[in-house]
Structure 1
Amino acid sequence: MDGARPVRLVVVIGSVREGRFGPTAANWFLGEAATRADLDLDVLDLAEVRLPDQLGTSPIPAEVAAVTPRLEAADAFVVVTPEYNHSYPASLKTLIDWHHVEWQRKPVAFVSYGGFCGGLRAVEALRLVFAGLHATTLRDVVSFHGIPASFGADGRPLDAEAKAGAAKTLLDELDWWARALRDARAARPVAS
């Protein structure tokens, strides 16, 4: 058990649409997370990765092979997702579907954004998907409603203090779950 080692956190930016708000929300969140010495951050922007849409078995496409080690090395994930048509983007589902064991027995938290519901319907849909992969989703979410009007020109939320408090709560819980599950995976490996 290595409680002193930082938690390897992969932050996934799930939208690939032109003009997307994801990088703004992600950059703010990463700024909050970067203040913590207990985290080792890796940003996986799906707009930069461009995974293939069609699932296959062999050979594994180079774009998928390049992402896999980053997901394997993760102790935890934060998924930054918009809500599109009451759900999450296809790009995010593609990432999830190309991988399986990389998500298992690891915690997943969410930063969501959108209109009236702030992306929370996308989060609820993703909880079911991650449960099917034996991942643990956290109750605490950072959610931005009324995008982009809830952010200032400086790229920070208008209610910065409240959102910073929500991010701290999420990161505290994520750290606990990541360490507990990392220790459990090391003590009792799952047969593949």
Structure 2
Amino acid sequence: MTTTTSPHPLSVAVVTGSTRPNRRSLRVAEWFVGLAAEALAGRADVALLDIADFDLPLLDEPTAAAVGEYTRDHTLRWADAVAEFDAFVFVTPEYNHSMPAALKNAIDFLFAEWTDKAAGLVGYGLDGGVRAVEHLRLTLAEVKVACVRSSVPLSLSGDFDGDAVVPSPRARAICDRMLDELIDWATALRSLRTESVS
């Protein structure tokens, strides 16, 4: 088990992957916040980051995010929120063999705020959201987010009771392993970011 050497605990955001009405993504994210807060007590602070709260339109910045010249109020609000965290857990449903457009759009708005941070992935769907997770890995790699190896696949037929998340023992074990990996990577990458600033 890893402990952080910084006087400040790591901060982890659990990011919703959908904005549509009646989305299951928010329920899954809220469940994971509770699970992660308990599992990471003393090692990290955990918070919900709901992309629906930011009312992001389709990407409307005039320059590429990598340039870092944000001009829109909604982008600046989103950038400030993302910048606060050392690591992320993205909760994504699978829409047509990929992640939702709203999640891809939210990632595309920013660059530096994601860079050299760690991420864990939670997918859900008929097949555990595995194709959405793999597409998400490719997108996050391009903004320099290090995704940990373990990802949590939640099956609609085996890990839910109605809208409630009731993970199988296997899924719960993967959650614990993924969170340990996330803390290891987030700790290492925070040191890297600190060194690059000094």
Letter of the 1:6 counterpart: P
Aligned equivalent of 1:41, options 37, 46, 49: 46
Say if 2:90 is the partner of 1:79.
yes
In structure 1, stretches of 5+ residues that fail to align are none
- 8 Å CA contact 1:83, 1:119 repeated in 2: yes
Q: Deviations over 1:84-136 (max 9, x none)?
A: 01110111111111101111111111111011x21110111111111111211
Aligned-pair distance for 1:158? 4.9
In structure 2, stretches of 5+ residues that fail to align are 63-68
Superposed counterparts of 1:138-153, under 5 Å: 138-146=148-156, 150-152=159-161
The percent identity for this pair of structures is 36
Give runs of ≥4 in structure 1 deviating > 6 Å.
Answer: none
Aligned-pair distance for 1:48? 2.1
Number of matched pairs: 187
TM-score (norm 2): 0.86
Partner residue of 1:129? 139
Aligned-pair distance for 1:6? 1.1
Provide the rounded CA distance (Å) in 2 between the counterparts of 1:45 and 1:69: 14
Q: Secondary structure at the match of 2:161?
A: coil
Provide the rounded CA distance (Å) in 1 between the counterparts of 2:90 and 2:163: 23
- 8 Å CA contact 2:13, 2:88 repeated in 1: yes
Aligned-pair distance for 1:184? 1.5
Of 133-142 and 162-171, deviating more is 162-171
CA change 1:103–1:154 in 2 (3 A) is closer
Say if 2:179 is the partner of 1:171.
yes
- 8 Å CA contact 1:9, 1:42 repeated in 2: yes
CA change 1:73–1:12 in 2 (3 A) is same
Aligned equivalent of 1:11, options 8, 14, 31: 14
Q: Secondary structure at the match of 2:6?
A: coil
Letter of the 1:157 counterpart: V
Provide the rounded CA distance (Å) in 2 between the counterparts of 1:2 and 1:102: 22
Say if 2:162 is the partner of 1:157.
no
